[in-house]
Amino acid sequence: MQFIDFDKTDAYRLLTEHTLNKFDFRVKLDAERVGRCRIPMAAGLTYSWAAKAVDDKTLKLLQALSDEQELIAKYRALLSGEVMNTGENRRVLHHLLRGGHGQPVIENKRDIGEFYRGELDRLCEFASSVHSGKYKGSTGKPFTTVIQIGIGGSDLGPRALYLALENWAAAEGKKKLTAKFISNVDPDDASAVIASCELEQSLFILVSKSGTTQETLANELFVRDKLITAGLDASKHMIAVTSETSPLAHNTNYLDSFYIDDYVGGRYSSSSAVGGCVLSLAFGPEVFREFLAGAAEADALALQPDINKNAALLDALIGVWERNFQKYPCTAVLPYSQALSRFPAHLQQLDMESNGKRVNRNGVPLSYSTGPVVFGESGTNGQHSFYQLLHQGTDIIPLQFIGFSESQRGDDVTVDGSVSQTKLAANLAAQIAAFAKGQDNADLNKEFHGGRPSSLIFGKRLTPQVLGSLLAHYENKVMFQGFVWNINSFDQEGVQLGKVLTKKVLAGSPADSALEAYSKIFGI
Amino acid sequence: MQFIDFDKTDAYRLLTEHTLNKFDFRVKLDAERVGRCRIPMAAGLTYSWAAKAVDDKTLKLLQALSDEQELIAKYRALLSGEVMNTGENRRVLHHLLRGGHGQPVIENKRDIGEFYRGELDRLCEFASSVHSGKYKGSTGKPFTTVIQIGIGGSDLGPRALYLALENWAAAEGKKKLTAKFISNVDPDDASAVIASCELEQSLFILVSKSGTTQETLANELFVRDKLITAGLDASKHMIAVTSETSPLAHNTNYLDSFYIDDYVGGRYSSSSAVGGCVLSLAFGPEVFREFLAGAAEADALALQPDINKNAALLDALIGVWERNFQKYPCTAVLPYSQALSRFPAHLQQLDMESNGKRVNRNGVPLSYSTGPVVFGESGTNGQHSFYQLLHQGTDIIPLQFIGFSESQRGDDVTVDGSVSQTKLAANLAAQIAAFAKGQDNADLNKEFHGGRPSSLIFGKRLTPQVLGSLLAHYENKVMFQGFVWNINSFDQEGVQLGKVLTKKVLAGSPADSALEAYSKIFGI
């Protein structure tokens, strides 16, 4: 297995040459192409790339790129526990949280998968004990609210997933507890969330892998003060999710603790206790297990070397095609599902924190572009917001649509001969066609140039299994892109400097006169 | 007054030449520069541009650009009621909602400002009548919840402003009603919001200027069905905000109606009844009037021709410098304030819908870039998400920070010798320095290149007046940029094609075989 910078590959040269050969998908996009250019995904989803500027030749070159950069071999190596997080000298094992490769990963005679499965079993049992009433608040009342305290990967993924399933669970009679989240060090965040809760009936989940996250520790103390002031036993109202080596581990301040390790990065931790505790408490452990099963199914499909059978791989490669050869610096994620309203915010972290790198996995500067800017909002809301620029702006932004034929709650109304869910889907179909094909008009202010590429992931209904499959699809996509670019998608050294300077400011010793001047602005 | 394409100006040529002269603000950024490079804004805010790649020569050229493109004269013309929305042949009068130019705008002998002020007085009186109990739900119970039904400008701005003031109002004892919002045509949105409300005590605000917005009308029927099913008199639970010519106007289905006109675009309508009803009902009419006063103060400052005294103008011009000469395609809005969590989503619409245009105001195609992609999340949350790419990615993204020295709720905790609000501000100061100055490291994976430009808007505390000033700042900034680019920032023809194709799908006659194929995917 070789690790080569992307611009040193034959594929890079051939793809560069191929950019001269313009494929105009505006005129080629017809029913035949829509029917042909799609790949089955896990949990019944389908990936459609018909409205991408990709022809047979492009596909062939992308397959060659995948083969030359050994993307599947690298994925297999990662699954087997090789140290793929080179900078931090760590394995990358989030797939193992949901099954992995099927082969054990052993370290110092310890089976890491067994550890992960053990923690999963423990958290499921804990959630059941809360639901059965075995665990209650310190005044004897049952818990009705669970509040996650965490930031970044301990917040965005779990929050997005909770929102994604809240209405499904309500419709299926599976909603057990309401979840809330405290993340920001802005004290208004914690203060407002706490003011909205019955503390007597609230269970807090403190999530920090290192046990040293500034925001999370400040918010823990904030909450603890409120619990004590309310006359409650704080240790009966808080559990911890952390690593076994953190200062929070094995601590009687918590009702119970669940462990993760350094092989699960924050932005990949939704499949661990970081997402598992809050989702199991909110919806029941079986719902979280269904979610994991959907993710595992997607992980297995991602092993397929043929890009025509591997949606995560093809999605990744088309993204590279658009980023490095069509030179598009951004991409928008547009789920036509209110349940996925915060899914773009999670993908923004997943993608930009993983692949926003300017050196290769060995620390050598790169001369090609890596991860794009990712943004998005749910449709149809976005149509009435930033779609103007997407349709008629001076730049082209590749789009990633997601949609379902059924709603989650099944509660709908017929207006003008159609239900809202049909209107939602009709809008989605119309947007894909409008972006791709455009429309001529003698008044150029009303002309749509078209040629704006999009992909579509579609399914029947957003269930826990479908959600797991969707999450894993994007995780694997981002991983494959990192392999193409020969970067380390699993560290985040770019967040360190800000932390260091913040500490200096708070210690009263800012590093330089500008920092001191900015600090004084805020009276520090 | 002349309207010239940007690339035909002398300023464009001179700025292009000036790009060769690299100003390295990394080494120039010191306390003196931080102290000098700032401009007072309205409501006590300050705009700081010290960490921008702008030197004295750049400033001089940007001033010359402002003068040559007659930006202040065009703003004055807009205030005076000239037809600045050329495509739709409309005046642009959102400033008049909060005072305008001081001069009346007369049309067919009608004083439009008088009309706006009359509607403002009426909605304030209505809100007071709800608060006093004069208006109650149809079963005689007082209203406790107000629910806005609208999308795009009828949703994003009002929602962002409500969230921005919710905690302030709670702390000040001014919160009167809880507000919720229904926007998406996804039926799960309306269904979930309604399931969370006591319908008996809920007052709905239906907002659609045209009275024909598909999503809003579907959601109105959805709500009306629920009200009727609950045995309530729907006409006692709903008010309308619309134009006088809309099918919704003067309709006994509504408890009352408040009017706007075609001279206030959706994304500029937060200062009208579109934002005014929900904010006045939630927090009291005097809070909304304070918000308008802050905006009016900002509007007045924006008349200043000297860019050293006009923050909106300078912010606009620096944005143009970054977009057209430094070639940065995106910009991130990063408020260090949880209250502003949805403010970036509003600015995303404001900016991208206004300036995402590829033809000039006469419909002639442009050969230079216009509006950038705008995205953002509140800090410190974003630090744990996409900041990795901002610090160490291959592209440079100009940043727009916002911060305050005091929290809204004043409820805080001391951890490790500082309160959370101080930590929040310390993080903000540290980020500006880290982005600007970077840090060397022999391990290039831990090196920060720096040279990543940012601006900062800072103030003491986020109050209604400050919020109004902030909103108007961005509205005026976007307007000035549109004048530079010689585009029409006030229409949105790019949203039309999707609407037309959606209607065709729903009518069973998709325009072409691809659209039909996509529709079939969703069973339409």
Residue A439: list chain B partners with CB under 8 A.
Answer: 497
Q: With an 8 Å Cβ cutoff, are A384 and B443 in contact?
A: no
Residue A68 falls in the annotated catalytic set: no
Looking at residue B179, what is its pLDDT? 98
- Report d(CA B400, CA A447) in Å as an integer: 33
Best A85, A385, A404, A488 residue to mutate vs chain B (most B CBs within 10 Å) = A385
Of A204, A460, A28, nearest in space to B522 by CA: A460
Residue A488: list chain B partners with CB under 8 A.
Answer: 445
Residue A353 falls in the annotated catalytic set: yes
Q: With an 8 Å Cβ cutoff, are A411 and B187 in contact?
A: yes
CA-CA-CA-CA torsion for B425, B158, B151, B182, nearest 10 degrees?
Answer: 90
Question: Tokens 């309160």 appear where?
Answer: B419
Query: SS3 letters for B360-419?
Result: CCCCCECCCCCCCEEECCCCCHHHHCCHHHHHHCCCCCCEEEEEECCCCCCCCCEECCEE
Residue B183: list chain A partners with CB under 8 A.
Answer: 381
CA-CA-CA-CA torsion for B355, B358, B359, B361, nearest 10 degrees?
Answer: 0
Which of A338, A374, A383 minimises the CB distance to B186? Answer: A338
Q: With an 8 Å Cβ cutoff, are A352 and B393 in contact?
A: yes
Which of A30, A339, A492 minimises the CB distance to B388? Answer: A492
Asked whether the predicted pLDDT for residue B25 surpasses 90, the reply is: no
Looking at residue A74, what is its pLDDT? 98
- Supply B347's token pair: 């600015």
- Supply A155's token pair: 């917040």
pLDDT single digits (tens) A75-100: 999 999 999 999 899 999 999 999 98
Best B497, B500, B506 residue to mutate vs chain A (most A CBs within 10 Å) = B497
Residue A358: list chain B partners with CB under 8 A.
Answer: 392-394, 449
Q: With an 8 Å Cβ cutoff, are B403 and A522 in contact?
A: yes
Residue A395: list chain B partners with CB under 8 A.
Answer: 329, 369, 373
Of B77, B103, B93, B114, nearest in space to B2 by CA: B77
Q: Are B253 and B135 in contact (CB under 8 A)?
A: no
Please give the average per-residue pLDDT across A10-35, as a whole number: 93
pLDDT single digits (tens) B266-325: 999 999 999 999 999 999 999 999 999 999 999 999 999 999 999 999 999 999 999 999
Q: With an 8 Å Cβ cutoff, are B152 and A518 in contact?
A: no
Residue B384 falls in the annotated catalytic set: yes
- Shortest distance between the Cα of B463 and any Cα of chain A, in A, equals 14
If you ran DSSP here, which 8-state letter would residue A196 be given? T
DSSP string, B200-240: GGEEEEEE-SSS--HHHHHHHHHHHHHHHHTT--GGGSEEE
pLDDT band at A143 (very low <50, low <70, confident <90, very high): very high
Q: Are B319 and B66 in contact (CB under 8 A)?
A: no
Beta strands in A98-232 (DSSP E): 106-107, 110-111, 145-149, 178-182, 202-207
pLDDT band at A101 (very low <50, low <70, confident <90, very high): confident
pLDDT single digits (tens) B119-169: 999 999 999 999 999 999 999 999 999 999 999 999 999 999 999 999 999
pLDDT single digits (tens) A275-294: 999 999 999 999 999 999 99
Q: With an 8 Å Cβ cutoff, are A498 and B152 in contact?
A: no
Best A37, A347, A485, A518 residue to mutate vs chain B (most B CBs within 10 Å) = A518
- Report d(CA B473, CA B295) in Å as an integer: 8
Contacts of B108 (CB under 8 A, 6+ apart): none
Which of A152, A494, A514 minimises the CB distance to B433? Answer: A514
- Report d(CA A313, CA A319) in Å as an integer: 10
CB pairs under 8 A between A and B: 510
Provide φ and ψ at A459, rounded to 5°. -155, -175
Of A470, A469, A307, A315, nearest in space to A398 by CA: A315
Q: Measure CA B156 to chain center.
A: 8
Please give the average per-residue pLDDT across A173-201, as a whole number: 98
- Shortest distance between the Cα of B111 and any Cα of chain A, in A, equals 31
Number of neighbours of residue A471 by Cβ within 10 angstroms: 27
Q: Measure CA B505 to chain center.
A: 32
Residue of B nearest to A389 (CA): B356
Q: With an 8 Å Cβ cutoff, are A446 and B493 in contact?
A: yes
pLDDT single digits (tens) A449-485: 999 999 999 999 999 999 999 999 999 999 999 999 9
Mean pLDDT of the residues in chain B: 97
Q: What is the pTM of this model?
A: 0.98
- Shortest distance between the Cα of B310 and any Cα of chain A, in A, equals 20
B336 - beta bridge partners? B403
pLDDT band at B20 (very low <50, low <70, confident <90, very high): confident
Residue of A nearest to B366 (CA): A394
Q: With an 8 Å Cβ cutoff, are B184 and A338 in contact?
A: yes
B148 - beta bridge partners? B181, B205
Q: Coil, strand or helix: which one is B452?
A: coil
Q: With an 8 Å Cβ cutoff, are A348 and B385 in contact?
A: yes
- Supply B120's token pair: 């403002």
Of A126, A156, A97, nearest in space to A240 by CA: A126
Containing B182, the helix (H) or strand (E) segment is strand B178-182
Looking at residue B102, what is its pLDDT? 81
- Report d(CA B488, CA B491) in Å as an integer: 6
Question: Tokens 């706007």 appear where?
Answer: B260
The shares of helix, strand and coil residues in chain A, as percent rounded to the nearest 5, are 50, 15, 35
Half-sphere exposure of A41 (CA within 13 A, CB side): 34
Best A7, A47, A175, A188 residue to mutate vs chain B (most B CBs within 10 Å) = A188
- Shortest distance between the Cα of B289 and any Cα of chain A, in A, equals 24
So what's the ipTM on this one? 0.97
Residue of B nearest to A455 (CA): B518
Q: Are B461 and B337 in contact (CB under 8 A)?
A: no
Residue A387: list chain B partners with CB under 8 A.
Answer: 353, 494-495, 498
Half-sphere exposure of A139 (CA within 13 A, CB side): 12
- How far CA B189 is from CA of A246, B57, B419, in Å, comes to 40, 52, 37
Residue B431: list chain A partners with CB under 8 A.
Answer: 498, 501
- Shortest distance between the Cα of A25 and any Cα of chain B, in A, equals 11
- Report d(CA B425, CA A506) in Å as an integer: 10
Q: With an 8 Å Cβ cutoff, are B337 and A518 in contact?
A: no
Percent of chain A with pLDDT over 90: 97
- Report d(CA B491, CA B486) in Å as an integer: 13
Which of A152, A188, A423 minimises the CB distance to B185? Answer: A423
